[in-house]
Structure 1
């Protein structure tokens, strides 16, 4: 992997292929490896760039609060250092929250934003309380927390079918440091509501949602798309569309980015 420095912290990334830049941003407890299979197919037509965000994968935690705005600033420096004039951004879950911060802070750098299993809405009070409890759990039982948190991203009916993929996802999640997980949970809990950003942006935006998503619920996502006049594409699965329905997810995103 290659790296660049953000305030003396090495940020690791992968850069493959040639053509229009395609920046892939992973979610919480994930890293750049989540995009491996898609990258193999996209790199023949695009310059595919994948980052390990601070506290994830090979990149160490940076501070005690990894806000979405902070992650967006890291990605912006990354885009600037690579001298990318315009890029397409695909963000999974938390990666979508970061993508929204990018079009909020640096809209001139983004050509298109695809929110995969993500939303512009902030955490509810109930969800914030869940994240507070999660911080306490990770401090006491780090490995057990990671395993359970990753398993809960998958629909119960897919647990057996995707057993190997779940085990791999857990192994990748365990690369996150406890500090990084806590810092990111705090950042997720305090993130802004970007419904207005999505409604007013001139950046072409699409939400790709799972109808059974148990993390980013489908009904509010559908309403959000309607209220912000954002294109919504639906899939039959849950929160992990890239693993539950990989072919369908690949085809949907490929069709969207091919139009750029």
Structure 2
């Protein structure tokens, strides 16, 4: 990725670091890895120290321990920041990574400078929960590739899929090549932990942005608004006409939103105008 060399923590977490300034951590979603953030790394590196890593069971990071909960994924990030001697970071989580970011902010508030939750889940309806539980069952039976085509159809617009077949094929290969146990462990948490410590979300006191796409069927605008309502002074942005993988499909739009929020959160230059809400 843009010439960066991945490194490892003592516990084995694979990560990339680029740029200087306030640290910003990027956490990917289930079945993906740190490579999904290529567009954000390019856009954020001129302004921040950007850290992207592979969650447990993904990419080049080790498998999670049996029975791990959300706190185990939060602990992975804590170990990474300790290794890098980073005292505080602005944490950006996408989809499952948004759950990890929430868990990190709850368990390690002293190390959280700001929080961004992108295209993530909260308070699923019974129908939404039944659907994701069924996808978990299919993944358990058939492996990480079981839902790949359906997932890509949810994640990207038809226009983007048609215009970028090589990239879509590469993402499908990433999904298919996941370690089955690591993938299933994360997917089960993704399917069941949308309300993880929901009653404690009011304790989060750092600047928070909750954002999703107008057309994201699994991480809906309603979810974003309900989640933001639980966190004091959280901002909500719904990007028009965007689907789930908006950081990949529309990196400039997402980067503009992130820069606006992050630069304000760490009291840098004035906010960038033109956010689509």
TM-score (normalizing by structure 2): 0.83
Does structure 1 residue 216 correspond to structure 2 residue 219?
yes
Aligned-pair distance for 1:143?
5.8
1:38 to 37, 40, 44: 40
1:253 matched residue in structure 2? 258
Number of aligned pairs? 256
Against the structure 1 CA distance between its residues 18 and 122, is the aligned structure 2 distance closer, same or farther, given a 3 Å change threshold?
same
Residue of structure 2 equivalent to 1:74 = 76
Q: 1:234 to 1:4 in 2, by over 3 A?
A: same
Find the counterpart in structure 1 of residue 273 from structure 2: none
Structure 1 residues 60 and 122: CA distance shift in structure 2, 3 A: farther
Q: Distance in 1 between matches of 2:205 and 2:144?
A: 42
Match of 1:242 among 224, 247, 250: 247
Counterparts in 2 of 1:60-99, with a 5 A limit? 60-99=62-101
Deviating more after overlay: 194-203 vs 79-88:
194-203
* Alpha-carbon distance change, 255 to 40 in structure 1, aligned in 2, over 3 angstroms: same
Once the two structures are TM-superposed, the CA of residue 46 in structure 1 deviates from its matched residue by 1.5
The residue correspondences of 1:1-260 to structure 2 (distance < 5 A) are: 1-6=6-11, 10-119=12-121, 121-142=122-143, 144-155=145-156, 157-158=158-159, 159-191=161-193, 192-226=195-229, 228=231, 229-236=233-240, 237-259=242-264, 260=266
Name the structure with the higher strand share.
Answer: 1
* Shift, 1:80, TM fit: 1.6
Q: 1:29 to 1:20 in 2, by over 3 A?
A: same
* Structure 1, 172-181 or 85-94: larger mean CA deviation: 172-181
Larger CA deviation: 121-130 vs 20-29: 121-130
How much does 1:149 deviate?
Answer: 4.8
Contact 1:12 1:59 in 2 (8 A): yes
Distance 1:94 1:70 in 2: 13
Give the distance between the partners of 1:226 and 1:201, measured in 2 at CA.
12
* Structure 1 residues 162 and 194, CA gap change in structure 2 (3 angstroms): farther
Alignment RMSD, CA only?
2.2
5+ unaligned residues in a row in structure 1: which ranges?
Answer: none
SS of alignment partner, residue 57 of structure 2: coil
Q: Is the 8 A contact 1:65 1:187 kept in 2?
A: no
